[in-house]
């Protein structure tokens, strides 16, 4: 029986799984939109949303907690930055969006796009789309 065994294993041991989630979270915060497999995307949502909730209150303790779990100073500065967190200040949760895609060619895995809810395309991409 699977009593009290939450989360997906993702075909990895616990240390590799933690490292994977940490790397995916860093990439999502840095680029605000990433593409990964659907099970990883669903696990990433569970992993990253507490960091954004933590960043709503900018204290030294919260910064240290985020830094100890993420291990990247640049990303922690970005999360706790006023322009980043002001976008989520009035939102009670649900900071990420998962958009299901097609299947990957190599192994037919379900692919998903994970983005922050208020993600907007960069200006140069919008200009290229209008030109077409």
CB 83 within 8 A of CB 65: no
Distance of alpha carbon 86 from alpha carbon 113, whole angstroms: 23
Reported pTM: 0.87
- CA dist 63 and 95 (Å) reads 19
pLDDT of residue 1: 87
Exposure class string for 12-50: b at 16+ Cβ within 10 A, else e: eeeeebeebbeebbbbbbeebebebbeebbebbbebbbe
5-60 confidence digits (pLDDT tens): 889 999 999 999 999 999 999 999 999 999 999 999 999 999 999 999 999 999 99
pLDDT in tens, 69-124: 999 999 999 999 989 999 999 999 999 999 999 999 999 999 999 999 987 776 66
């Amino acid at each position: 029986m699977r009593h009290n065994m939450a989360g997906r294993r993702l075909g990895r041991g616990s240390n590799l799984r933690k490292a994977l989630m940490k790397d995916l979270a860093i990439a999502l915060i840095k680029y605000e939109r990433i593409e990964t497999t659907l099970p990883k995307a669903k696990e990433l949502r569970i992993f990253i949303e507490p960091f954004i909730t933590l960043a709503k209150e900018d204290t030294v303790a919260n910064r240290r907690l985020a830094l100890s779990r993420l291990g990247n100073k640049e990303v922690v500065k970005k999360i706790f930055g006023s322009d980043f967190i002001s976008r989520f200040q009035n939102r009670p949760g649900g900071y990420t969006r998962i958009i299901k895609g097609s299947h990957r060619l190599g192994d037919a895995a379900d692919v998903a796009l994970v983005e922050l809810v208020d993600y907007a395309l960069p200006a140069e991409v919008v200009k290229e789309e209008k030109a077409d």
